[in-house]
Amino acid sequence: MVLKLAIFISGRGSNMEALLQACASADYPAEVVLVLSNNPDAKGLETAASAGIATEVVDHRNFKGDKAGFENAILTTLDGYDIDLICLAGFMRLLSADFIAHWTDKIINIHPSLLPAYKGLDTHARAIADGAQKAGCSVHFVVPEMDAGPIILQKEVAIDDGETADSLAAKVLVQEHTAYPEAVKLVAEGRIKIIDEQVRIV
């Protein structure tokens, strides 16, 4: 069985592109059937459309602070597709507990730090400021608490002398583009079990 993916983006969607490239391989056990954005100007929408992927826009600005209305519109949109897993790829809206409950253990995200360290924004600058020796990325299941869900896998990079937030971000991004397809493959192959809020790979 091929796992059917919806990818949520807000910008250029470089991790989306990594997933599209992985799914283009004949032996990869997943396919992208939808790319959805809250931003009608997201460059990733053009990339997806040019690859023949269906795209949808649910612009949060049209809901004037009505988060429930915004999320219900997304849920209604998803109902029009056969989706097994939602992949957040630079989607800059926090999802509510109610939304996540509709897709329990079926939403994953990639975060540019070695969680649980450096949740939230500005991860690279914070790691450098703290004198950390390594950084990286984490692919995890989404739960109501931000960046706190069970971790599927992580990739590490060294923080070199003279490292800047931009140079570190570039190094980590290379690892992100490997980590996300690997994590989706594990899910698609049925090798991920969540036991006591932790991932076990079988």
DSSP string, 14-43: HHHHHHHHHHTSTT-SEEEEEEEES-TT-H
- Angle subtended at Cα 35 by Cα 90 and Cα 23, rounded to the nearest 5 degrees: 95
Burial class for 15, CB neighbours closer than 10 Å (0-12, 13-18, 19+):
buried
Q: Is 111 part of the annotated catalytic residue set?
A: yes
Among residues 60, 111, 140, 177, the one annotated as catalytic is 111
* Torsion, CA 36, CA 102, CA 142, CA 178, rounded to 10: -50
How far, in Å, CA of 30 to CA of 42, rounded? 23
Q: Are strands 30-37 and 54-57 parallel, antiparallel or unpaired?
A: parallel
List active site positions.
111
